[in-house]
């Protein structure tokens, strides 16, 4: 049911750019238009933006409207068209993301990434084997076996503080060895036990 809120004098004032009539039109039609657009887009934030733009377009063309029915139709057409454009844009973005995900899953890329990681792990493994004996034992139990410092201290008959000191010595030695390779230092800080044998 169409309920018109403007009389002929107010429509004439609207065409002349009367802000008081603009506000009356906005207050009456905005809530319903917002709901309409929100249902189409599924986004309250986007619906607010689209609805406000529709009213801005209506007011910018105020001189062209002879009836309130035409004003209302214009608002809903603007809202519908902008909503459809938004939906198409979102679908395009999702398609781009899907294509990106497909490219990232490409076997060649995975092999390249895996090859780099394995190379780094191998270099670290060799460097660990060159650490002093006690230092090497502590480091392997921490990173390879993922044991807690207290557990390692009990197994090796050491103080917990000694375990932490040996861990620090090992990391410092490895960082120095790979000081020119930031990627290797990064991998030193990750739990790589599952990648090493």
Which of 120, 160, 126, 122 lies closest to 142, judged by CA?
A: 160
Give the chain's mean pLDDT: 79
Residue 3 lies in a domain: no
pLDDT of residue 185: 53
* Residue 86 maps to a domain: yes
Residue among 55, 8, 53, 47 at smallest CA distance from 28: 55
pLDDT reported for residue 174: 80
pLDDT score recorded for residue 196 = 40
Return the pLDDT at 100: 55
pLDDT for res 123: 74
Which residues of the chain are modeled with pLDDT < 70?
Answer: 1-2, 96-97, 99-121, 179-197
Distance CA 176, CA 173 (A): 5
Is 113 contained in some domain?
Answer: yes
119 lies in the same domain as 191: yes
The per-residue pLDDT for range 35-83, each reduced to its tens digit, is 999 988 888 889 999 999 999 999 999 998 888 888 988 999 999 999 9
Give the pLDDT score at 31. Answer: 92
Q: Whole-structure pTM over 0.75, yes or no?
A: no
Domain ranges, residue 12: 8-103
Is residue 66 domain-resident?
A: yes
């Amino acid at each position: 049911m169409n309920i018109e809120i403007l009389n002929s004098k107010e429509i004439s004032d609207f065409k002349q750019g009367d802000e008081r009539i603009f506000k009356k039109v906005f207050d009456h039609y905005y809530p319903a238009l917002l709901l309409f657009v929100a249902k189409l887009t599924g986004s309250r934030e986007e619906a607010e933006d689209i609805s406000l733009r529709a009213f801005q377009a209506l007011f910018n063309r105020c001189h062209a409207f002879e009836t309130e029915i035409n004003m209302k139709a214009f608002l809903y057409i603007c809202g519908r068209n902008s909503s459809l454009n938004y939906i198409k844009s979102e679908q395009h973005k999702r398609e781009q993301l899907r294509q990106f995900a497909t490219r990232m899953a490409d076997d060649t890329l995975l092999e390249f990434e895996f090859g780099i990681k394995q190379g780094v792990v191998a270099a670290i493994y060799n460097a660990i084997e060159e650490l002093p004996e006690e230092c090497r034992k502590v480091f392997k139990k921490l990173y390879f076996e993922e044991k807690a410092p207290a557990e390692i201290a009990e197994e090796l008959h050491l103080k917990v503080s000694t375990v932490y000191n040996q861990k620090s010595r090992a990391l410092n030695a490895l960082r120095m060895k790979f000081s020119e390779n930031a990627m290797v230092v990064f991998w030193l800080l990750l739990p790589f036990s599952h990648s090493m044998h």
